[in-house]
Amino acid sequence: MGHPTIYPTGVTIYNPEKCWNGLTVFQGQEVGAVLMDMNGREHNVWKGVHGFPNKIFPGGYLVTSRGRRTGKYSVQDQTDVVQLDWDGKEVWKFDRNEYIEDPGYEPRWMARYHHDFQREGSSVGYYAPDTAPKSLEGNTLILCHKNIRNKRISDKLLLDDVILEVDWDGDIVWEWRCSDHFEEFGFSEAAKNALCRNPNYRPTQPEGMGDWMHINSMSVLGPNKWYEQGDTRFHPDNIIADGRETNIVFIIEKATGKIVWKLGPDYNASPEEKAIGWIIGQHHAHMIPHTLPGGGNILIFDNGGWGGYDAPNPGAPTGVKAALRDYSRVLEIDPVSKKIVWQYTPFEAGHLMPMDSNRFYSPFISGMQRLPNGNTLITEGSDGRLLEVTKNHELVWEFISPYKGKLVPMNMVYRAYRVPYEWVPQVQKPAETPVVPLDVATFRVPGAAAFGDRVREVEVEGCTPYEGSNALCVASVEDPEEK
């Protein structure tokens, strides 16, 4: 389905009485990190940072990424993870993952950061009662890259995902490498064969590399009822992550590095996974903090689109990106029973399925946040749409990013977060003014004809107006072939 070239941007729906009100941070394409209120007023813009994502910490601090390694030699490598104060002054930085000497560029230390980080004190990096990330101390988990060779996976150079824990001084105190656990993920022989031939190959210099897993989120589980009930798979220090290219969500045991729980990559492997249905190209899998509604359940933005390795099929002749679906789902899953306990799909959004299901669809990026009142803030990332929905799926706030890039002509938003007003003392609590949705059936751009303005109207013999419309009619004929 195509999209209009002209459409409203900014806040298009806002019901203050049903929202969890606060300040929202998102990345404005080619602008920087934007902090806005519920009516879309921008209270600060940290220019030039890259997000990926942006997070606000208590005190009005921004933690973000800065600097990109040239694309000739990398895939999504960010040079620094930085923490900035309200005025943009650097108060913390990590870059000492690897010393890089790319030909033609000044050698330097780089974080090779991508997609996610978590500061001690908060399991997921967003607001939950009685928990908050430490603003000026503590360790940080950081998702990074390293290049490796591992013939058990492929004979090609591989881009490996690495999780580092670093202290406040930037020293690495713990490390986990994804490729070390290849056999624990449960790939079928068909998937291994497809992955070996093409591990999501990217044509970088000098020989290209395979971004084989492409982890796009990771966070600690934090305190949860499952561990309190004796299930050691859910130790609060364990880490949940997901691989976009493999359609897999998994939990890492922090003490050993082993995979102790997973969902996928084969969703025909068990009755529970069959009931969930194929999760494809997912993002931002995380456990809801225990002080929020749904605490202990796992939220997943199931993008749809394309993802996974399997036997060749008509949609994926080489078996790469083998699963396909043209709509998205937000899933809340009980990790013990592996049952869906809440979801937001095109059906809950009010669209006809399957005919109109791609009206809720972001085939890449995206995420969600559980809010203290039980609502869910959703980032439908590819079209720059942020929405807040209630437990009963009512849309109570909507924002469309006005920032479109030049290099990539999209208004996409990687991931957005809502924080309470008190986390940002530099901002006086703003007015919260309702925004009533436009009636798109009657709204017209100034200068355009109003709805119902017709030059001429005639009655057509043999036609009766379709109920509820003066534009459609149904012919009354006895012979079906005459229709």
Contacts of 317 (CB under 8 A, 6+ apart): none
- pTM > 0.75: yes
Contacts of 121 (CB under 8 A, 6+ apart): 131, 132, 133, 134, 138
In contact, 363 and 319? CB cutoff 8 Å: no
Domain span including residue 347: 10-456
Nearest Cα residue to 197 out of 150, 246, 153: 153
Calculated CA dihedral for residues 21, 116, 178, 186, nearest 10 degrees: 30
Question: Under DSSP, is residue 193 helix (H, G, I), strand (E, B) or coil?
Answer: helix
| pLDDT for position 408 | 87
Looking at the domain assignment, is residue 402 inside a domain? yes
Nearest Cα residue to 252 out of 278, 279, 213: 213
Tens place of pLDDT for every residue, the chain, 483 residues? 677 889 999 999 999 999 999 999 999 999 999 999 999 999 999 999 999 999 999 999 999 999 999 999 999 999 999 999 999 999 999 999 999 999 999 999 999 999 999 999 999 999 999 999 999 999 999 999 999 999 999 999 999 999 999 999 999 999 999 999 999 999 999 999 999 999 999 999 999 999 999 999 999 999 999 999 999 999 999 999 999 999 999 999 999 999 999 999 999 999 999 999 999 999 999 999 999 999 999 999 999 999 999 999 999 999 999 999 999 999 999 999 999 999 999 999 999 999 999 999 999 999 999 999 999 999 999 999 999 999 999 999 999 999 999 888 999 999 999 999 999 999 999 999 999 999 988 898 889 888 778 898 888 888 766 554 444 333 333 443 433
Looking at the domain assignment, is residue 5 inside a domain? no
Looking at the domain assignment, is residue 4 inside a domain? no
DSSP state at residue 225: H
Looking at the domain assignment, is residue 224 inside a domain? yes
| Separation CA 121–CA 101 (nearest Å) | 35
Phi/psi for 398 (5° steps) reads -145, 140
* Residue whose pair of structure tokens reads 């299930």 in the numeric block: 231
What token pair was written down for 263?
Answer: 């969902």
Residue 214, domain CATH? 2.120.10.30
| pLDDT for position 482 | 39
Looking at the domain assignment, is residue 475 inside a domain? no
DSSP state at residue 275: H
Phi/psi for 462 (5° steps) reads 90, 0
Looking at the domain assignment, is residue 476 inside a domain? no
| Separation CA 259–CA 223 (nearest Å) | 19
How many domains does the structure of the chain reveal?
1
The secondary element (H helix, E strand) that includes residue 216 is strand 215-220
Looking at the domain assignment, is residue 117 inside a domain? yes
Rg (CA), the chain: 24
| Separation CA 36–CA 42 (nearest Å) | 4
In contact, 26 and 386? CB cutoff 8 Å: yes
Looking at the domain assignment, is residue 93 inside a domain? yes
| pLDDT for position 1 | 64
Sheet holding 417-419, edge to edge: 42-47, 32-36, 23-28, 417-419
